Amino acid sequence: MIDFPRWKYWLVGIAMVLGLLYAAPNAFRPQPAVQISPNHDARIDATLQKQVAADLDKARIPYEDITTGKDRMLVRFANTEVQLQGSDTLRLALGDNYTVALNLATTVPHWLQAIGGRAMPLGLDLQGGVHFLMAVDQDAVLKKQQQRYLDDIRSLLRQKQIPYDVVSQSGDGVQAVFKTSDDRDKATGAITTDTTDLNLSDSRTPGGGYALLATIKPDVLQKLAQTTITQNVTTLRNRVNELGVSEPLIQQQGESRIVVELPGVQDTAEAKRVLGAVATLEYHAEDESVNAQEAARTGNVPPDDRLYYTKDGRPVVLKKRIIVSGDELVDASQGYDQQTGMPDVNVTLNSAGARKMLDFTTSNVGKRMGVVYIEQTPEVKMVDGKEVHTSKTTETVLNDAVIQGVFGKKFQTTGLSQQEAQTLSLMLRSGSLAAPMQIVEERVIGPSLGQDNIRKGERAVILGLVLVLIAAAFYYRLFGLVADIALTFNLLILIAVMSAVGVTLTMPGIAGIVLTLGMSIDANVLICERIREELHHGSTPLASIRAGYEKAWSVILDANVTHLLAALGLVTVGAGAIKGFGITLGIGILTSLFTSVTMTHAITALIHGGRKRKLKTLWV
Amino acid sequence: MELFHRDLNIDFLGMRKVSIVISTILVLVSIWAVAVKGLNYGLDFTGGILIQVNYEQPIDVGDVRASLEKAGYEHAVVQSLGGTREISIRLQPPKADAKESPDKVATAVSKQVLSALAVGHPGVKLAQPPDFVGPEVGQELKTSGIYAAIVVILGITVYLGVRFEKRFAFAAVASEFHDTVITLGIIALVQREFDMTVLAAVLAVIGYSINDKVVVFDRVRELFRLTRKADTPQILNRAINNTLSRTIITSVFTAITMASLGLFGGPAVHNFAITMLIGILVGTLSSIFFASPMLLWLGVSKKDLMPVTRENPELARRP
């Protein structure tokens, strides 16, 4: 069969090799491990390794080995039970200086990792853990913003000395009432120059007053809603780090939901406490007369001051007096400096905050000011057999900077990288404009259930594959065997693609794989039936093969495109389990199109085309 | 080995009156079942609290239900988790607590349930912390499921309308509707739990069944184009017969994999596999008995399918 081009043989060959190579990492089971990473100025070194080993020996917890990396240490254990004991012991022994997290250490050989080979991450249903769905209360955020504009308008009118009767919240906007239409026009002008976020409309009140209704523009609202979600995702991510989960999933779902999946975690109560922490912000003046490094070393801090640390462990000494606190901050957003084009963070205060800030900066230009992020996490401890509710406070300096001039309501923080500016604005928002969240869905999957699911899923895949292989070989003989090779490679290439893309494997995903196995053989059935038909009509074997592939192609294409449309529909439903299934099915349809048509054609051409003598019969 | 003789020619179209009547009855019964008996929605859809408890001694599901009723939980769904000592209880949180944060309600309710169950059966324990799903989450899932089904069916219709012809698209949509409704009807009739995986399976059935129809339709199109004297029922019959062995073989192969998933895949995918098996059966039968009669009824004919050559005047002018 000369009509099968050489490059297609190569394509098929390369696909087979790549499929094998990139599916291979999944055969190496990850090993339960505990990951230790340093906080503040703590270090990962040989001393720590010895200490960890000694701690584990003392508690008689067997471990397999300890590897020390640049910024983390991995202790591997034989099974999850020992892993949990180990992590509890180490968490207690190492204290606050280190974060101890459950982890699954890869056992994939280095050369395979070097070429990018990695196993599919396992979904919660396959490895156990907690799943939360959190709803963000967008209404509360909206109310807060309306209050902000109300304050703004009121103080603006006062500042511009425009007389007004009343400024109040009305429906979904702010209403200001004036005695004359002249005052109203002045107010409209003042507001328009002050902000572009509002839609203004005129009306008359029943009492004969001239009313001005200000509503927040829809695109501003939409942006606000999106920032709220992003900000909450960032906050949650920071908090989850505290829980010691090495690979948490925190993701927006739909317009106002956030999914939080914490593999390995079983204690929902603790997780909820950490996720439900309350955050605030405080602006403090920096005490530059004190050497912060020195103070951190000796612990000597003047009575009016306090020692704080930044996220990366740098000590900062701030005065105790608060200049402005988080509830006086009405907006923080990342932008760009108009002169230099460098990223900056724009902060807006309400009128009370603005006054205090103005007072402070007037006499402190050239000095430094720091902003502290304070998070309070409720804790429950058992004391004498009773539950004692306390709370743990963590304080971090987000940023400290030199005051460049006198400012009040609005100011910018500059000298930041794009990334830093983004993070700072989100953290400022979470400390001040926190949107309340509620857990609306909660599920716990035990670790043994996860193991059980993997085992059963594997068994179903293998059994399904073997049965179809036997049935195809039995019914279509040689062509069935060719289809079998293609089907096996379809499974491998499907797994390889899923691994390379990084699709999380879940139980519905496994169902998708099994379904793909059953349905991808359909193309071969179509081709083989066609070949049989052609033979029956009296065509020669080679012509039958050619006609079989040609005539079956259009129907295979139509059938697969429509099927792909259905898979796309599944993906757009969005919710976790169905999405995973749809993605698997979609990738499976694409890979099967390649394996069951191109690959079988290549193999068939190889078997029948190479023969010099005339082909008399086909074993189909 | 061949399933059917090559020259097999069963007069499927001759049975069209009977088959359409049967299909109509099945669809009506299914609609009745879904509307009146309703789908036995799982936690994913109803929202509520799922509590799993372990007893020390074997326990009867009826006893559990009785003690729950005594405690005021009248509509709890009580199921055995395979053994005699593991029980799962699904219930709706009391309405009065609507303002309370839902996860706190779940914890409180599970405590009350546990103490109610402990009466007469000391040592009953929670197997794991309770799961709960907020009611609006479930409602959204239902809505998005219906949207997905509509979008999928519309997308397929447009594609088939372009690739084939509008009558084929209509017939395909009618068959899709037929298959989906009957699959749902059977699930409602036997009151199998309808959870998220079942929704996924129902949507996958749409994909599977359209696959099947396209194969038959493709053959219809081909035969119309090849045959000079075309008698529509005859051609439809030949198309069904020619593709019959493929239709059945593919269904058997897919059914084999789904059976293995259902038998060995464990409880997480059991409902999925069962739904797929039902869908495969319904889809296969409708490919044979329902889709082509629909085509005939819609009045498909040879001239609808001749390749369009006249539309390009440039080509027409050439000798």
* CATH of segment(s) A139-221: 3.30.1360
Return the CATH architecture of domain A277-417: 2-Layer Sandwich (3.30)
- In angstroms, what separates the C-alpha of B204 from chain A's closest C-alpha? 7
B76 against B278, higher pLDDT: B278
Q: Which residue of B has its CA nearest to A514?
A: B257
pLDDT above 90: residue B189: yes
Q: Does B174 touch chain A (CB under 8 A)?
A: no
Q: Which residue of B has its CA nearest to A268?
A: B129
A477 against A97, higher pLDDT: A477
- Contact: A444, B207; criterion CB under 8 Å: no
Most confident of the following: A256-260, A439-443, B261-265: B261-265
- The 10 Å CB-count burial string (b at 16+, else e) for A210-222 is bbbbbbbeeebbe
Please give the distance of CA A499 from its chain centroid, rounded to a whole number: 18
Q: What is the pLDDT of residue B318?
A: 60
- In angstroms, what separates the C-alpha of B45 from chain A's closest C-alpha? 12
Partner residue facing B200 (CB), from A517, A559, A570: A570
Q: What is the pLDDT of residue B32?
A: 96
Break chain A into its structural domains and give their ranges.
Answer: 6-26+449-609, 31-105, 139-221, 277-417
Q: What is the pLDDT of residue B312?
A: 58
Compute the mean pLDDT over every residue in chain B, rounded to the nearest whole number.
86
Interface of B with A in 96-135 (CB under 8 A): 101-103, 106, 128-134
CA–CA dist A425, A508 (Å, integer): 39
- Contacts of residue B145 in chain A, CB cutoff 8 Å? 573
Compute the mean pLDDT over every residue in chain A, rounded to the nearest whole number.
86
- Contact: A514, B260; criterion CB under 8 Å: yes
pLDDT tens-digit readout, A141-163: 888 888 888 888 888 888 888 89
- Contact: A514, B156; criterion CB under 8 Å: no
Asked if domains A6-26+449-609 and A31-105 share a fold, the reply is: no
The domain made up of A31-105 is a member of CATH 3.30.420.40: no
Partner residue facing A574 (CB), from B2, B101, B144: B144
Q: Which residue of B has its CA nearest to A563?
A: B207
Percent of chain A scoring above 90 in pLDDT: 26
Which CATH number, 3.40.50.1860, 3.20.20.70, 1.10.3130.10, 3.30.70.3400, labels domain B48-133? 3.30.70.3400
Q: What is the mean pLDDT of residues A113-119?
A: 90
- In angstroms, what separates the C-alpha of A503 from chain B's closest C-alpha? 18
> Residue A69: what are its φ and ψ, rounded to 5°?
-100, -165
- Contacts of residue A272 in chain B, CB cutoff 8 Å? 103
Band of pLDDT at residue A616, cut at 50, 70 and 90: low
Residue A564 CB contacts under 8 Å (≥ 6 apart), including other chains = A586, A589, A590
CA–CA dist B297, B300 (Å, integer): 8
- Which of these, B148, B152, B149, B275, lies nearest to A515 by C-alpha position? B275
Q: Does B269 touch chain A (CB under 8 A)?
A: yes
**Model ipTM value:** 0.87
- Contact: B260, A519; criterion CB under 8 Å: no
β-strand pairing of A278-286 with A315-325: antiparallel
Beta-carbon pairs below 8 A across chains A and B:
217
Mutate to test the interface with B, among A484, A514, A530 (most CBs of B within 10 A): A514
Superfamily in which the B13-41+136-305 domain is placed by CATH: Multidrug efflux transporter AcrB transmembrane domain (1.20.1640.10)
- Contact: B257, A554; criterion CB under 8 Å: no
pLDDT tens-digit readout, B266-276: 888 999 999 99
CA–CA dist A613, A54 (Å, integer): 75
- Contacts of residue B136 in chain A, CB cutoff 8 Å? 440
Q: Does B203 touch chain A (CB under 8 A)?
A: yes
- Contacts of residue A567 in chain B, CB cutoff 8 Å? 207
pLDDT above 60: residue B96: no
- Which of these, B300, B241, B285, lies nearest to B22 by C-alpha position? B285
Interface of B with A in 42-101 (CB under 8 A): 101
Break chain B into its structural domains and give their ranges.
Answer: 13-41+136-305, 48-133
- Contact: A565, B152; criterion CB under 8 Å: yes
Q: Which residue of A has its CA nearest to B211?
A: A559
For residue B172, the tally of other CB atoms under 10 A from its CB is 26
Q: Does B22 touch chain A (CB under 8 A)?
A: no
pLDDT above 70: residue A574: no
- In angstroms, what separates the C-alpha of A477 from chain B's closest C-alpha? 9
Q: Does B169 touch chain A (CB under 8 A)?
A: no
Band of pLDDT at residue A37, cut at 50, 70 and 90: confident
pLDDT tens-digit readout, A66-111: 888 877 888 999 887 888 888 888 888 887 778 788 777 888 898 9
Q: What is the pLDDT of residue A610?
A: 62
Dig out the tokens for A199 from the structure.
């839609």
Partner residue facing A572 (CB), from B141, B148, B222: B148
Q: What is the pLDDT of residue A252?
A: 87
- In angstroms, what separates the C-alpha of B269 from chain A's closest C-alpha? 7
Q: What is the pLDDT of residue B307?
A: 64
Partner residue facing A525 (CB), from B137, B155, B249: B249
pLDDT tens-digit readout, A243-302: 777 778 888 887 888 999 988 787 788 788 888 888 888 999 998 888 888 888 888 888
Return the CATH architecture of domain A6-26+449-609: Up-down Bundle (1.20)
